[in-house]
Amino acid sequence: MSILDSKIPEGPIDQKWTNHKNQMKLVAPNNRPKIDVIVVGTGLAGASAAASLGEMGYNVKSFCFQDSPRRAHSIAAQGGINAAKNYQNDGDSTYRLFYDTIKGGDYRSRESNVYRLAEVSANIIDQCVAQGVPFAREYGGLLDNRSFGGVQVRRTFYAAGQTGQQLLLGAYSALSRQIGLGRVKMYNRHEMMDIVKVDGNARGIIARNLVSGKLERHSAHAVVIASGGYGNVYFLSTNAMGSNVSAAWKIHKKGALFANPCYVQIHPTCIPVHGTNQSKLTLMSESLRNSGRIWVPKKKEDADAIRNGKLKPTQIAEEDRDYYLERRYPAFGHLVPRDVASRAAKERCDAGFGIEANDTNEGVYLDFASEIKSKGKQVAYAQGDHNPNEETTIRLGKKWVEEKYGNLFQMYQQITAENPYETPMKIYPAVHYTMGGVWVDYNLQSTIPGCFVAGEANFSDHGANRLGASALMQGLADGYFVLPYTIANYLSNEIRTGEISTDSKEFENAEMDVAESISSLMHVKGNRSVDHFHKRLGLIMWNKVGMSRSEAGLKSAIAEIKGLRDEFYNDVFIPGESNEMNAELEKALRVADLLELGQLMAVDALNRNESCGGHFREEYQDDEGETLRDDKKFKYVSAWEYKDREATNSALHKEDLKYEAIKIAERNYK
């Protein structure tokens, strides 16, 4: 029944990519300028792909909805990027990075893709340094590393708490060079509205100029979608306000299967929710778990007193604090993977130990006091003061912390008006990343020939849970080191095609359909703003398709979303016109897609009768609240085929996951 061919190359795991590269077909340099490639999105995956394809000599058209490609949301990634360099001499290797990623993903990712990711990871660091990315260095002038969740080595490269910014600006500089040379044509403030297929192949897109509102037709021999993840289906998330699923969803509606939509990463360390007018949640980097210790009070009455403002966290004695991650997971402690840390926080708060005075009492402490003391002592010692007094220790310790995490501490203080050097940070899990996405084969091609999907928008590398500092790695791996090869293989059959006309029936119809959907939304002229619907969708998703899911909750979510969607199409109000800059219209078009996706996420979660990674079904847990995976029944990728707006009608295709290089095991961080 399956229409899925993952096209995994033959051979031993460490030879697959090399052999495949040797066998793939090429396009000669003189033929490349005759071939057009469209890249949608300018984050790490999109910008690196567009730059690399431009360098190779293809005609590239690059699209972003922001006012500049430099603003794509990869820019906000904080902590770092993994690479199996083993610079720290702690036993790292390609195999170990591969193993950690598979295990971190709870044995739900495709082995061959993950191995390739680990294999090219070292090249990424070399490439970025050559571009002038200013990574953090040690005094000897060599690159520094730190540790992230779910691993026992230091393989994470970083630039303070803004690694994503530095990597994206690196990719943006490479892209800018190609734009300056005329190899890439850049379309800022343009949003992809639909993909255009001719004879079943991807042949272009319909884009909307967000300044003039005009619809434009753009043709190409291949289309790359690198439009990021769909975390904004929850309304409140760490995603940027403009992050959306629309490009990915449009190709899904035109035949690309959508895989594992229920795999969502809830990040454990975000600033807790404060009020109803809040528009987004802010992440505090996972790197902080290198230095901070997470705790809640051991006694409920202490938690009550803190929430009522009668006690301060610094007044709780050491023996009255529950460092629950150290207690439950001594081997990994605070550096357990994100899904594990998030669930543990939820468990404590649900049990009544939450410390934040918001509607739900949801918050735990991330405390830097021990680290400030211990680092202060170390620094004093290194400076020759072998017996520092308390004051010196604290002063030097704070300085050390500031150097490592200064911008994060500053950001925290801006948002909460509390000083994290003096009092512990308050944190709680929030939606951060989506592991699910468009199904792609080993070549990153979707089930639409000629339509490739890269970065967070595809599903392939992180299984049911992504490890920290692996998103940047995957985005750049896809864009710099995978797509340039696999797209060439596809394009080798296109050298005789010639320019593709945008006057064809297919382009005309696609443009007409887009115009119609815009016009019908404009004409609803109801009474509620787009945000009104988006917030309600977000609440349904967070409460029923969030950190923990149950059969009853999912069934009710499916029905509620359907009802909300009907209401949206009858009662949404979009002010202004469609032929001008209109932020409300942009939002409405995105929310319309989220209202379909949200339902599919619930359908997928309902189908998956097991708990794995970020997908936690209350029915499937052990006595200690750990996930119970069911490898006999669910060791597969769920790839959904679109039928109509009602996700319950979507057809399920299964890609069985085979593990040859790794022994599948229980995931244990104790």
CA separation (Å) from 110 to 106, 442, 612?
11, 9, 15
Q: How far is the CB of 546 from another protein (least distance, A)?
A: 21
The only residue of 59, 165, 219, 244 in contact with another protein, by rule CB under 8 A:
165
CB 568 → another protein: shortest distance, Å? Answer: 15
Which of 22, 30, 89, 277 lies at the binding interface for another protein (CB under 8 A)? 277
125 near another protein, rule: CB under 8 A: yes
**Minimum distance from residue 647 beta carbon to another protein (Å):** 28
CA distance 239 to 17: 32
Residue closer to another protein, measured from CB, 125 or 345: 125
76 binds another protein (CB under 8 A): yes
What does the CA dihedral 475, 602, 273, 458 come to, rounded to 10 degrees?
0
Q: How far is the CB of 379 from another protein (least distance, A)?
A: 15
The least CB distance from residue 78 to another protein, in Å, is 9
With CB under 8 A as the contact rule, the residue among 24, 93, 95, 136 that binds another protein is 136
Q: Which of 4, 35, 169, 266 binds another protein (CB under 8 A)?
A: 169
**Binding residue (CB under 8 A) for another protein from 1, 28, 130, 382:** 130
Closest distance between another protein and the C-beta of residue 12, in Å? Answer: 20
Residue 617: closest CA among 516, 547, 562: 547
Binds another protein (CB under 8 A): choice among 3, 26, 331, 415: 415
Place of tokens 């080993």: 442
CB neighbours of residue 22 within 10 Å: 8
Q: Which listed residue (11, 12, 33, 134) binds another protein by CB under 8 A?
A: 134
Q: Which is nearer to another protein, 584 or 630 (CB)?
A: 584
**Residue 179 CB-half CA count within 13 A:** 19
Among 29, 91, 180, 384, binds another protein (CB under 8 A): 180
Residues 518-577 that bind another protein (CB under 8 A): 529, 531, 573, 575-576
> Does 140 contact another protein by CB under 8 A?
yes
Q: Considering the complex, state which of residue 78 and residue 458 has its C-beta at the smaller distance from another protein.
A: 78
Options 331-339, 411-419, 502-510, 656-664: segment touching another protein (CB under 8 A): 411-419
Question: By three-state DSSP, how is residue 196 classified?
Answer: strand
Which residue of 22, 308, 387, 414 would you call a contact of another protein, by CB under 8 A?
414
The alpha helices in 349-441, defined as continuous H runs, are: 369-382, 390-416
User: Alpha-carbon distance 291 to 30, whole Å?
Assistant: 54
- What is the side-by-side strand order in the sheet with 59-63? 184-187, 59-63, 36-40, 222-225, 451-453
CA dihedral 451, 453, 457, 460 (to 10 degrees): 130
Distance CA 13, CA 93 (A): 14
The verdict on 313 binding another protein (CB under 8 A) reads no
| 131 contributes a contact to another protein by CB under 8 A | yes
Residue type present at position 568: F
**Window of 141-149, 219-227, 326-334, 503-511 that interacts with another protein by CB under 8 A:** 141-149
359 binds another protein (CB under 8 A): no
Q: Of residues 7, 137, 214, 633, which one binds another protein by CB under 8 A?
A: 137
Q: What minimum distance in Å lies between the beta carbon of 484 and another protein?
A: 7
* HSE (side-chain half, CA atoms, 13 Å) at 235: 20
For another protein, the closer CB: 123 or 648: 123
Q: Which stretch binds another protein (CB under 8 A): 167-175, 191-199, 508-516, 619-627?
A: 167-175
Least distance (Å) between residue 24 CB and another protein: 15
- For another protein, the binding residues in 29-58 under the rule CB under 8 A are 48, 51-52, 55
Q: Does 69 interact with another protein (rule: CB under 8 A)?
A: yes
Q: How far apart are CA 263 and CA 233, in angstroms?
A: 13
First to last CA, the chain: 40
Residue 185 near another protein by CB under 8 A: no
Piece of 310-318, 413-421, 543-551, 636-644 that binds another protein (CB under 8 A): 413-421
Segment 596-655, which members bind another protein (CB under 8 A)? none
Q: Please tell me the count of residues contacting another protein according to CB under 8 A.
A: 84
Q: In what order do the strands lie in the sheet with 190-198?
A: 190-198, 201-209, 215-219
For another protein, the closer of residues 1 and 142 by Cβ is 142
If the CB atoms of residues 359 and 644 are measured against another protein, the closer one turns out to be: 359
| Per CB under 8 A, 73 contacts another protein | yes
**Binder to another protein among 141, 199, 317, 391 (CB under 8 A)?**
141
Site for another protein in 475-504 (CB under 8 A): 480-481, 484
In this structure, what token pair is assigned to residue 571? 């009662």
CA distances for 116 relative to 19, 122, 457, 481, angstroms: 12, 11, 18, 10
Q: Is 382 in the site for another protein (CB under 8 A)?
A: no
Q: Give the three-state DSSP class for 146.
A: strand
Structure tokens at 469: 């500092």
Q: In this structure, what DSSP letter does residue 501 have?
A: P
**Interface with another protein (CB under 8 A), residue from 88, 93, 177, 399:** 177
Tell me if 352 sits within 8 A of 307, measured CB to CB. no
Asked if 417 is part of the footprint of another protein (rule: CB under 8 A), the reply reads: yes
Site for another protein in 216-275 (CB under 8 A): 238, 240-242, 274-275
Question: Given its phi and psi angles, is residue 255 left (phi above 0), alpha (psi -120 to 50 degrees) or beta?
Answer: left
Per-residue x/- track, 189-218, another protein (CB under 8 A): ----------------------x-------
Least separation in angstroms between CB 521 and another protein = 14
Contact (CB, 8 A) for 346 and 268 = no
| Per CB under 8 A, 279 contacts another protein | yes
126 binds another protein (CB under 8 A): yes
Q: Which of 5, 320, 418, 656 binds another protein (CB under 8 A)?
A: 418
Instruction: Tell me how far apart the alpha carbons of residues 613 and 101 are, in angstroms, rounded to a whole number.
Output: 12
Q: How far is the CB of 422 from another protein (least distance, A)?
A: 15
What is the arrangement of strands in the sheet containing 321-322, beginning at the earlier edge strand? Answer: 264-270, 425-434, 364-367, 293-297, 321-322
Of these, 198, 305, 524, 581, which contacts another protein (CB under 8 A)? 581
**583-587: long-range contacts, CB 8 A cutoff, minimum separation 24:** 584/529, 584/530, 585/213, 585/518, 585/521, 585/522, 586/65, 586/191, 586/210, 586/242, 587/530, 587/531, 587/534
Q: What is the distance between the alpha carbons of residues 5 and 111, in angstroms, rounded to a whole number?
A: 15
List beta partners, residue 640. 258, 652
Give the shortest CB-496-to-another protein separation in angstroms: 27
Q: Tell the smallest beta-carbon distance from residue 640 to another protein (Å).
A: 29
Question: Residue 592 and residue 1: Cα distance in Å, rounded?
Answer: 31
